[in-house]
Structure 1
């Protein structure tokens, strides 16, 4: 029987790459390949070398990131390197340009499973094309999702007179307080949003 081979494909952002590396380490005894870009290879390399000493097999597979072709500065291969919010869509478009080379890797390697980031939704079609099971990596903690849901449903921030006044987040097992200054503009949107979609 062939050894199981998992592909891991995180969004190019530290808060996504580091947990993905941790997941790859957890599948000990299974070959793991992390898909990333040349600039981001260094985020993984040292940890992978240490992990190899423990007998785990983790490799890196590099895909060129087409930053300049999508109106981004040269070397802009990670979310924190995007210079302005106006260029975030360009970054997203550049990630979709990775689809063709990614599918070539899928076809050549035929991994047993793909674990890809929720912000790379096009990887669903790629995995389906080669009949490879795909799991979605959603890095937000369940607690944070519960807090966001409660704020969205009950809008407790509307019951205080100023953004510096504390309010209790309802329907949590313990009393958690926030102030309006701790909310994002997204939290203040009036219509309900389904955060789990």
Structure 2
């Protein structure tokens, strides 16, 4: 099924971008913005996702239709049950436990067949064949789709050039870093290849330098697909990190286009509020609370949809926020709240202790709207 925002007839001379995002909110939202930006420049855009994820961006779909943007939103069947996942588990934030995250990531390649079947549908001849595929870098299987279509493929990165360069160098110098970590007594070491001398602590690279063979196999597939890409799009801008942009471009040896910050593309409040899932808090009440706080005084604590904090980590975060004396908004995911008996009760007591100074949002929060409020002066989130 597809929703077409514009009937483009048989204009075979138009550029046609096929976008394949990762089904995780922090990855999908900027690619939705990218789709609208490309379409606003008059190019055709096909945005491929699944039913659950399409429902989450229905407001965006409706807006594209109303604006006559040439975007086609396509629903692909995601066979979750075949992959050993719960029915309807079509987004990373719906993965019920950390041990199912890798099976979820591996299952994404099952989208290849329905995507290729859709592109071969004779009923779609009113749109020309895609001329370029843009995929999230973790959707490594799209390299095969691009080869089948005989079109260039660009990969999309959401994080900063600094993060991307560090990640690339850590994996490139894996053996030397493992030796350095064993040899150091201070717990920190220099990461070679950065434009500035930066010391990194052991605990900062342990999650990147995974030792699990199954994860290593998956990441190797990502690396191979990334090396075969024809170019890279990054949700950042040169003025923010010029040296890291230049270094990343030099190290990868690829064409790199800084296209960010994509979140600024649409300034309308409704568009910002519609980014991601439906908010679990009434926006009117949220902003009434923020309006009462001093300018730049509030700290927003919100981690990505893939991040799973343990019960101990959640409680330590809470105790730290309570002891800080600082106004805060803390976003706690439903899966974290439900994971261990007693967490929900602890959060309820915590809310009573910080009432008036702290606000706990359970579930999805309108992060872009919150960050745009003058009362917010700090942001605690995951690396990248």
Matching residue of 1:186: 208
* Conserved? CA contact 1:68–1:74, under 8 Å: yes
Matching residue of 2:186: 161
What SS does structure 2 have at the residue aligned with 1:74? coil
Matching residue of 2:146: 127
| Cα offsets for 1:56-104 (capped at 9, x unmatched) | 2222100111111211111111122222333234223432222221101
Would you say how many aligned residue pairs link Structure 1 and Structure 2? 191
Q: 1:142 aligns with which of 161, 175, 182?
A: 161
RMSD of aligned alpha carbons:
3.1
1:10 to 2:21 alignment: yes
Structure 1 runs of 4+ aligned residues shifted over 6 Å read 193-196
Distance 1:7 1:172, change over 3 A: same
1:36 to 2:38 alignment: no
Distance 1:168 1:64, change over 3 A: same
Q: Which runs of 5+ in 2 are unaligned?
A: 1-10, 212-218, 228-384
Q: Which has the larger radius of gyration?
A: 2
User: TM-score, length-normalised on structure 2?
Assistant: 0.43
Distance 1:48 1:149, change over 3 A: same
CA separation in 1, counterparts of 2:69 and 2:18? 14
Matching residue of 1:46: 59
CA separation in 1, counterparts of 2:132 and 2:44? 11
| Cα offsets for 1:150-195 (capped at 9, x unmatched) | 5564748664635xxx777665445656544444433487xxx997
Q: Which runs of 5+ in 1 are unaligned?
A: none
Matching residue of 1:23: 34
| Cα offsets for 1:23-82 (capped at 9, x unmatched) | 212212112121001110133221233344444222210011111121111111112222
CA separation in 1, counterparts of 2:82 and 2:168? 38
Distance 1:149 1:63, change over 3 A: closer
What SS does structure 1 have at the residue aligned with 2:27? helix
User: TM-score, length-normalised on structure 1?
Assistant: 0.76
1:117 to 2:117 alignment: no
CA separation in 1, counterparts of 2:206 and 2:199? 15
CA separation in 1, counterparts of 2:89 and 2:31? 20
What SS does structure 1 have at the residue aligned with 2:53? helix
